[in-house]
């Protein structure tokens, strides 16, 4: 284990577990709400499908259902702290797709017209925290697993599955609209 992480977790274990719980709750509930909204609010799947078609994610309905399902599933796993590196990978994949399809053309800052990549990149990087250091004591990973993901394994799973999943989805379904 990393010496700095070991010192922190040894000196302040309750604080680290509470910080991980807070991060997981924010990430999990935030992305769950996005999926819930796609299924049950606003334009629902039909509206999301139309918007996805307009940004080049075709077929729109398939991608809308896949995105909403991934957001709800990722949200539940992250909130519960279950299979946390995979939940982090899901969140990273969702954010990478959002960056490529919607936000990258607007630059870095979120306050720019059309919103830049700042928020999505921040969420993706924040998702690496529970993937690499673990979900903490207040998680199902801690309660059910006799082992914990190592730093390297969690990082590798989150990045390879997350970025790889996003790249695969973009390669198969993304057809940028002509300007």
What's the whole-model pTM score? 0.90
Is the pLDDT confidence value at 2 over 60? no
Measure the CA–CA gap between 41 and 93, rounded to whole angstroms: 23
The pLDDT, as a whole number, for residue 114 is: 80
In a domain, 83, yes or no: yes
| Residue 46, in any domain of the structure | yes
Are residues 109 and 179 in contact, defined by beta-carbon separation less than 8 angstroms? no
Is residue 1 included in any domain, yes or no? no
Tell me if residue 107 falls in helix, strand or coil: coil
Is residue 93 a part of any domain in this protein? yes
Using 50, 70 and 90 to split pLDDT, how confident is the model at 111? confident
Q: Could you tell me the pLDDT band of residue 8, with boundaries at 50, 70 and 90?
A: very low
pLDDT score of 51 more than 50: yes
Number of structural domains, the chain? 1
DSSP category for residue 93: H
Task: Provide the residue range defining the domain that includes 105.
Answer: 14-173
Q: Does a structural domain hold residue 69?
A: yes
Helix H or strand E encompassing 109: none
- Does residue 7 belong to any structural domain of this protein? no
Helices 151-173 and 84-98 cross at an angle (nearest 10°) of 40
């Amino acid at each position: 284990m990393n010496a700095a992480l070991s010192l922190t977790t040894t000196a302040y274990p309750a604080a680290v577990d509470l910080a991980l719980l807070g991060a997981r709750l924010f990430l999990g509930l935030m992305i769950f709400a996005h999926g819930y909204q796609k299924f049950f609010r606003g334009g629902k799947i039909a509206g999301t499908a139309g918007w996805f078609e307009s940004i080049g994610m075709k077929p729109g309905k398939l991608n809308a259902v896949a995105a909403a399902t991934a957001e709800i599933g990722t949200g539940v796993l992250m909130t519960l702290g279950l299979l946390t590196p995979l939940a982090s990978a899901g969140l990273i994949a969702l954010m990478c797709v959002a960056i490529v399809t919607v936000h990258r053309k607007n630059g870095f800052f979120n306050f720019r017209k059309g919103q830049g990549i700042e928020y999505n990149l921040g969420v993706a990087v924040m998702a690496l925290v529970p993937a690499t250091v673990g979900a903490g004591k207040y998680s199902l990973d801690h309660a059910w697993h006799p082992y914990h993901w190592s730093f390297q394994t969690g990082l590798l799973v989150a990045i390879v599955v997350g970025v790889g999943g996003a790249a695969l989805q973009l390669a198969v379904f993304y057809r940028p609209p002509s300007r």
